[in-house]
């Protein structure tokens, strides 16, 4: 991912509805020595932007429903001087598969050497993957926090209603979970729900 000087003069357009991810990509491109980078978060007016910007490379997240609009635009411009096509190198399907897996796609100006684009795509793929990993971890952490809160509430309910100590309440939850082959958080949730109905 070290900045190769020869590709640093490329004009790059990044289209990503997720502003945080877009800035992560932008940072990666800056680290690799790219200075002519434009980032947009919505595709409104992108046709005009592409006309004026004349990008060599377009990086787009594949969750954008506006990809079809870009396909149409590339069809219209295929006969003009700068036809743009999706980054596909038949000798390197593994890297394009990795890109689609990661949720990113790239279009390049026809005739641009593949080796100038590959580091850009590889960087985008690794950053897209890192971003999804972060998001997944965040979701897991949130989930764990939620579960802990529910268990605390269930313990409180059991302690109050059955006069148990905190340790006894937790042991009861754990024992029920084992007996019913469920997660403690699920048992705790039923306790909380049941208490809401009974009280």
Restricted to residues 159-188, the positions that interact with other proteins (CB under 8 A) are 181, 183
Rounded Cα distance, 63 and 85, in Å:
19
Of 72, 149, 162, 174, the one binding other proteins by CB under 8 A: 72
Of 32, 39, 49, 86, the one binding other proteins by CB under 8 A: 86
Q: Which residues contact 116 (CB under 8 A, 6 or more apart)?
A: 4, 6, 7, 10
Q: Which residues pair with 15 in a beta bridge?
A: 40, 60
Q: Which stretch binds other proteins (CB under 8 A): 92-100, 133-141, 142-150, 187-195?
A: 92-100
Asked if 107 interacts with other proteins (CB under 8 A), we say yes
Q: How many helices (H) and strands (E) does the chain have?
A: 7, 5
Asked if 65 interacts with other proteins (CB under 8 A), we say yes
| Contact (CB, 8 A) for 56 and 47 | no
Taking the alpha carbons at both ends of the chain, their separation in whole angstroms is 61
Rounded Cα distance, 181 and 167, in Å:
21
CB of 2 to other proteins, least distance (A): 28
Of 70, 117, 173, 188, the one binding other proteins by CB under 8 A: 70
Of 9, 63, 115, 146, the one binding other proteins by CB under 8 A: 63
Q: Which residues bind other proteins (CB under 8 A)?
A: 62-72, 74-75, 79, 85-86, 88, 93, 96-97, 100-101, 105, 107, 181, 183
């Amino acid at each position: 991912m070290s900045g190769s000087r020869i590709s640093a003069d490329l004009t790059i357009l990044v289209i990503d509805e997720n502003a945080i991810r877009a800035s992560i990509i932008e940072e990666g491109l800056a680290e690799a020595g790219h200075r002519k980078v434009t980032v947009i978060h919505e595709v409104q007016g992108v046709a005009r932007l592409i006309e004026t910007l004349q990008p060599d490379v377009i990086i787009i997240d594949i969750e954008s429903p506006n990809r079809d609009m870009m396909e149409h635009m590339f069809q219209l411009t295929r006969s003009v001087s700068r036809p743009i096509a999706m980054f596909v190198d038949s000798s390197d399907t593994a890297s394009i598969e990795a890109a689609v897996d990661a949720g990113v796609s790239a279009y390049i100006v026809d005739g641009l050497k593949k080796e100038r684009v590959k580091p850009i795509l590889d960087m985008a793929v690794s950053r897209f993957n890192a971003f999804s990993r972060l998001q997944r971890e965040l979701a897991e952490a949130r989930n764990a926090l939620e579960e802990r809160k529910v268990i605390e509430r269930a313990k409180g309910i059991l302690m109050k209603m059955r006069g148990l100590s905190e340790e006894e309440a937790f042991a009861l939850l754990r024992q029920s979970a084992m007996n019913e082959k469920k997660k403690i958080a699920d048992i705790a949730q039923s306790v909380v729900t049941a208490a809401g109905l009974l009280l």
